[in-house]
Structure formats: C-alpha cells, structure tokens
Amino acid sequence: MLSQGSTWLTPRISFPKGSPGRPLVCFYRPDVCNTTTLLLSEDGDTLFVGARDAVLSLDVSQKEALVIRSKLDWSPSGKDLEQCSMKGKEMMDCPNFIRVLQFLNTTHMYACGTYAFSPRCTYMHTETLLMTSHSSKPEEGRGRCPYDPYQRNTAITVDGELYTATVADYRGNRPVISRHLSEGSHVDLKLDDTLGWLEDPTFISSSFIPSEEKIYFFFSEVGKEYDFIDEFIVSRVAQICTSDVGGQRTLQRRWTTFAKAQLLCQASSELPYNVVQDITTLPPPEGAPADDTLFYGIFTSQWSVNSGQSAVCAFRLRDIKATFSRNYKVLNRDTLRWSTRVQEKIANPGECGLHNASDNTLRFVKENFLADDSVRPVGRSLTMVSHDQNYSHLAAQRVRAANHRDYTILFLLTDAGYLHKAVLLEKGAHIIEEVQVFQKPQPIKNMQLSASKGVVFVGTSEGVVRVPAANCSFYSSCAQCVLARDPFCGWDHADKACMEVSHVQASLGQDVDGGNVEETCNTTPLSPRAGVGPNKLTPGETVSMSLNEVVRLQCPGTSRHAQRLWEGPGGRLSPDLYLQPEDGSLRFLVTSATLGPYLCLSMERGHRQTLAVYHVEQKPTPPPPATSPPPAPTVWMAVKSGDLDLVPSVGVWPKTSAEVKRRADAMPVSSEAPKTPLATKPGGVSLAPGPRDSGSKDGGRQLLAHSPSYLKELVVVSVLLALCLSTLLTAALYSIRQRCRKRTAPQASASDSRGGLAEREALRGESPPRANGKRSNGRTTRNSQTNGQVCTAATTPKGSNGHLPNTPI
C-alpha cells in the first residue's frame, strides 16, 4: 500500500533545456505548430501528429532524429475564415485545430478538426495521409469534435466505431457522449439531454476495458447533489456498454447503460482535490485479472487554500465496479434535490444488456444514473502531492527492476515546462529527475508514452520533443547509479558502467527502495577526515590567492537530496571565518590561518563521498624585471636649502628663482624611479631619499637628477599661500582702521565752548586760563603711522607727578 504524506517532493536532479547530461530530440518546422493531438502506431515506429491546419506522420524508429514521412495540409478556406471572424471570434482561433485522430483499421484513420468553428471530419490513409472521404468534401463533425480549440474533449475507437465526449453546439452548452460510425446492428447513440445527465462538464479522457466491454469516461462537472451556496466541482467517472443499442420505445437512440459516480481524491481530515486534470490507464501485470487495472489521475483544488498544489490519486477498476453495483441517488423533480433511494431497486443501472428490458426498467435506469457512493483511491490515501507544481498531463509505465520486482513510473508534465519522472515506493513517491522540455508556457499540449520504445513524446506549440525514459549513462559511478534509485538503471560491476536493466542479462547493482551504496557497491564509507590529513594530501585543484583576498570555492553538487559539507585544514570550519551560502559554495578571507586543503563532501542516504578538492596557497611575489637594475637602499637625509640650491624652502623662492626653475625644468626625470615626494621639515630643511654617503651638492644634484620634479607644484602652492596671507593681512589692517576712526570721532559735550577758547588761545601762542586760579594740564597729541595710514591717538590725562593717574610710581 502506498502511503504518501504531504512531504515536500523535490526532484533529485534537474536538467535545464539543452543540458548535455540529458539530450533531447526535437522536431521543429516553421509550418508546423500547435501539436494538440498525438497518436502512436502499434509497432511504435510512427507518430501521427494533429497540428494546426495539418496532419503529419513522423518516423520515430531512429533514436537520434525525428524524420517527417508525409504531411496533409488541411486548412479552412478564406470564406470560412471570414465567416468565423464575423461570428465574433479571434482570427488566431479560426484555423483548423486537429482534435480527433483515431485508427479505424490497419489502413485508415479518422480525423476531426475545429475548422473555423465549424467542425469537419474525414477519413485518411495511414501511409499517404490522403483523404478518402465517401463524399467529395469532409463531413460535418458536430458532436464528434468541439467548436472551440480550447475546449477539451476525448475520443476512442472500438471495432471501427467512434465514441466521443464533447459539446454539440456552437456556444458549448450541450455536452454529449455519443457513438458514431456505427455498423451492422448498432446505431448511433447519444445521451438523453432532457434529464441533465451532465452538468457543464469538462471532458478529460476515456478508456476501453475489453473484458468488461465498457468504455469509461473521466470528466469534472458541477455537483448538483451538494446544496452549497457556491458551485461545487466534482470529478466523475461514467460508463457505457459498447453493446448498447438503445431502447425500443423508452430511450430510443439513447444510452440505456449510462451511469456515473464521483471520484474522491482526498486525504483524511483535508479538503478534497476535486478537479481532475488528466487520467491515464495502467493495464494490470501479466497474468493478473482485469480488475487490477489502475487509473492514475492528476487532481487540483478549486479552493485557494490548496492553490498551486497537485495531487495524484490511483483508482482500481474493482472499486469502480463495486461503486456502480451499489445504491443510486434519485432526483426529486419538485424540489430538484437528490436523495438516496429507499425503495426496492428494480434494476442495476449501468448493467449491459438493458436494451431489451421493459419500459418500467428503462424508466428506472433513466432516472437513477448517479451512484450514491464515491470511488475511493487505492489505500484511501493520496499517491503523491506536489506543493509547488501544477501538473497537467501524466503517463504511467510498469518497469521490472533488477530484483525482479515491478515498480510504477509516472511521467508528469508541469505548467512550467518540466517533465518529472517519479517512482512509486512503499514509503512514498521519489522524483528521480526533472527535464525541461520547453521554456515558454504552452496552453495546448499533449503527451504520448511508448513503453515498448522507452520514449515519451511531448507535443508543444512549436513541435514535438522526444524524451528517453532512461538516462543511465549520466551516472558515472556506482554510488551515483544506486542513489538515483531508478528502476531502469543498474550498475554493471564487470563493465564499470550504469546500464539499462532490460539490456543486460547479468545481475546489476541496484537498490530502488533503500539506495544503500555500501552494500550494493561493496565499498567502505568515507571517513570524515579522509584526504585532509597532513600525510594524505588528496590531489585536486590549486587556488593561488594573495593574502587578505576573498576566495570562493564552488561545490559541483548535482543531487538536490544530498547535504553538502565542507572540511578545511582544521577540520570543522568556524562560522566566524567562513560563509557557506545556500548554493553550497564556500567563502572566506585568505590569511595564513586559512591556507591549506579544502574538501567538499556530500551526504546522501548515509553515503559520504568527495565532490571537490581545493588547495588554497599564497600567491608568490613576482621577481623584478631582468632589464631594470636593482634599486639602491633608500634612506632619508636632511638637506639644507643653502647647501642645495635646487631644493627651495616651502613657500619661499631664492633670489635666483628664475635660474633655479630653468635648471630644474631642464633636468631629466627617470620614468623608472619611484615617485616619492620630498618631505619638508620646519625651517626650510627638506628630506629627500638618497644614498647614505651623499652629503655634498653634487650628491644632491645627482639625487634630484634621478628623482621626479615637483617645481611646478611648488610654485602653485607658494602663489596660493601668498594670496592667502595677503588676504588675511588686508582684512586685519581694515579692522584696525575702523577701530581708530571710532575712537577719534568728535563728541558733542558742554565743554565745546571752552575747548574752542583754548584752541584759539593756543593758535595765538597764549596759555589757556587756569581753573580756580591754577593752570590746567595741557593735552598731548601723538601721531602713529602704520602702512602709510595716520590716525590720532586719544589724549590721556596725567597727574601732577607726570604719570598716569591711579598708577603706582
């Protein structure tokens, strides 16, 4: 029993499109697009493709190429396209999209297309693809093919008769399940649409079970039996018998064996995944009864809480048959409510051979077509759940492994353009790999599995892509081959290669359930310190870096299920010195303590292996060029400005500045000499590098001859310094002048008349009169001259002793 919880499923290996590890074969032509229908011949050598305005046959027998054999161009006329546009449809939806492509016999096929929203069908020869219709033009395809290219449909042929599930009107409001091309005693049948046997369905797929002589249709529709405020979508399985010919009076030319039941893809205590996306049929193993036939389906949820999630459920034919054999619901015509029938059951709806029953029996099966119970999945649990992928199509295959056990492989196509290959195990599903098939989202696509050839064909809007089911050659070691847990692959100990199980008769190393490398490959586990010790230096890549540089070491891990670890010279790496991002790389600063060997290890299912080895070394200092002489030892020497007239003091040029400048500019400057500026000490002493014994003028001139000249820079600095000093001095003088003017300004007072008399007496040479009979002290005027400017100092009174008053003698 498969018990898959809600664990997060991650593909072990991912192959981007064009990856050399997963080569794909593509068929692209500019005149072929929208390959909506794929049909594979019984021998698996020819793939028939229904595209837009064309039907093709491809030779797929070669592994390295897809070769076109023949092509039929089938496009609407200009008048048909004009009428389609007048109906309000987009021109991009008006071409003829092939939606039905089925074998009628060994020599002919039957094809139907949308044909500008006016479906057409035709017969064609399988070898030449030439139309062989009974009339001069294709026949009407209403009820056999949808009008809209975006509406889903399903079709299947049994004994030359076509069974379809589609819509029968232009607006898509009349769903119908019908039979066409009937021969002999059979007549074309369809559903009785007066009772609402179908409620706005979306048809998914159909499957024929020969032992039951029944065809099962899978679809989703509105569940009218649930009295909810919002419409509740349910997934259904319906059945009809291929021997049905309709009733004699009741249900004439209508199905008498139609019945439907709910498919419930739900885990315990969780919301159901109620919208079916695709269904595929897996026949039972050889020798097993037909009741063991499995139907694998992809389901999504209509509620936002499960948005972005997809679930896979498996249903057994035995459970479907048991559900149809139990009680049925009945519809109350007055209240339009469904209820469980409590009266005695007259007949068993869905039972074959009711066309000869009485009218009372046919009326009973006409009103009781909905099973009361739901079909539960195998083990009453989900097969697998993807929390981050929306699956759209799937295919299933049973594979015999090296241990002679059968495993189920699912190929799931995502909306993002990836094909997932998953193996179903007892502990849950394991996604072996994912392969990117196309980059742009494809609105219409199909998938066809060829189990005999081991190939999956995917139809995209640009063409067809061929994906091999097995990729054993990618695994280069026994550990990788076993850890893949792929039932297709096993390790051949004699040839030292990972081989396909079906191609090798000898026993191969393989462990699909456990992935135990040590037991399967007969190896010993890698010790934690293997290859890192001082005496065991594992060969690897040498990385030369300078000190205080940041180095990044990559770990080339391919498995997403493996945990990548790093080991350095000191064993475990301290998080204070090393950074390990999520991509598995290692970053650190190169110091004397971080030099040495580094190993990237992976741990997967208990197996430890080395992925990369690095030896981080210090980059050696490059030697000087051979043409340059070795530089002499450099010392700093003090040179006075008087002794070396070529080195002026800072801010002051000697009197012969013009001559010095001329001589300095004429001096040759060596381009190889280091550009070391002259250092100047206070007092006009310059420090210049030179030899220890050079203290004379000749030595200084020789030193300057091999040193760079800074005369121009020194002139500029001196001029700027002189300008700054002049500006400051001017500002200071202006400030002093303003203060002098304020202190000598005349002031109005009561003694102005007295002062005027004294001035007149002084001009006449007379002494001023004494105050109180005494002669007053005279005022002394003192002139001071500063920078050519004259200002009058204030007269200060003195005492009788000639000194300033209040000043000690």
pLDDT digits (tens, 9 = 90+) for 219-244: 999 998 887 777 899 999 999 999 99
Domain 541-618 belongs in CATH node 2.60.40.10: yes
Residues of the chain with CATH 3.30.1680.10: 475-521
| 320: helix, strand or coil | helix
Length in residues, the chain: 809
What is the percent of the chain with per-residue pLDDT over 70, rounded to a whole number? 77
Residues of the chain with CATH 2.60.40.10: 541-618
- Residue 717 confidence (pLDDT): 86
Q: What would the pLDDT profile of 415-452 be if each residue is shown by its tens digit? A: 888 999 999 999 999 999 999 998 776 666 789 999 99
Q: Mean pLDDT throughout 557-568? A: 88
What is the percent of the chain with per-residue pLDDT over 90, rounded to a whole number? 51
CA distance 449 to 151: 23
Handedness of CA 272, 274, 278, 284 (dihedral sign): positive
Residue 163 scores a pLDDT above 90: yes
- Residue 271 confidence (pLDDT): 86
Specify burial of residue 198 (Cβ count, 10 A radius: 0-12, 13-18, 19+).
buried
Q: Mean pLDDT throughout 483-508? A: 89
Residue 687 scores a pLDDT above 70: no
> Taking the CB of residue 807, how many other CB atoms lie within 10 A of it?
9
Picking from 606, 599, 557, the residue whose alpha carbon sits closest to that of residue 582 is: 557
pLDDT band with cut points at 50, 70 and 90 for residue 571: confident
Give every CB contact of residue 242 below 8 A, 6+ residues apart in sequence: 158, 159, 161, 163, 208, 213, 214, 215
CA distance 320 to 324: 6
Whether the Cβ atoms of residue 277 and residue 204 lie closer than 8 Å to each other: yes
Residues of the chain with CATH 2.130.10.10: 202-245+253-388
Residue 1 scores a pLDDT above 90: no
Picking from 633, 629, 652, 632, the residue whose alpha carbon sits closest to that of residue 641 is: 652
Q: What are phi and psi of 9, to 5 degrees?
A: -90, 125
- Residue 639 confidence (pLDDT): 41
CA distance 15 to 437: 9
CA distance 777 to 798: 8
Q: Mean pLDDT throughout 159-185? A: 92
Which range is least confidently modeled, 170-184, 388-402, 513-527? 513-527
- Strands (E) across 634-684 are located at 635-640, 679-681
Residue 331: strand pairing partners:
338
| 3: helix, strand or coil | coil
> Taking the CB of residue 686, how many other CB atoms lie within 10 A of it?
19
Query: Do strands 463-468 and 455-459 pair parallel, antiparallel, or not at all (unpaired)?
Result: antiparallel
Give, for 263, the enclosing helix (H) or strand (E): strand 259-263
- Residue 133 confidence (pLDDT): 66
Q: Between 129 and 645, whose confidence is greater?
A: 129
Q: Mean pLDDT throughout 471-489? A: 94
Query: Do strands 428-436 and 13-15 pair parallel, antiparallel, or not at all (unpaired)?
Result: parallel
Whether the Cβ atoms of residue 100 and residue 144 lie closer than 8 Å to each other: yes
Residue 690 scores a pLDDT above 90: no
Give every CB contact of residue 380 below 8 A, 6+ residues apart in sequence: 268
- Residue 185 confidence (pLDDT): 83
Handedness of CA 29, 33, 35, 41 (dihedral sign): negative
CA distance 176 to 525: 63
Residue 175: strand pairing partners:
167
| 89: helix, strand or coil | coil
Q: Mean pLDDT throughout 214-221? A: 97
Q: What are phi and psi of 223, to 5 degrees?
A: -85, 100
Distances (CA, A) of 236 to 225, 227, 277, 501: 13, 18, 12, 38
In degrees to the nearest 10, what's the CA dihedral of 726, 727, 728, 734?
Answer: 100
Distances (CA, A) of 426 to 38, 348, 408, 430, 786: 33, 37, 11, 10, 111
Residue 486 scores a pLDDT above 90: yes
Residue 739 scores a pLDDT above 70: yes
What is the CATH architecture of 202-245+253-388?
7 Propeller (2.130)
Residue 49: strand pairing partners:
38, 56
Residue 799 scores a pLDDT above 50: no
Regarding the domain with residue range 475-521, which homologous superfamily does it belong to in the CATH classification? ligand-binding face of the semaphorins, domain 2 (3.30.1680.10)
- Residue 583 confidence (pLDDT): 84
Q: Mean pLDDT throughout 561-569? A: 90
CA distance 217 to 540: 60
Q: Mean pLDDT throughout 612-637? A: 69
Residue 504 scores a pLDDT above 90: no
Which range is least confidently modeled, 222-231, 273-282, 438-447, 699-708? 699-708
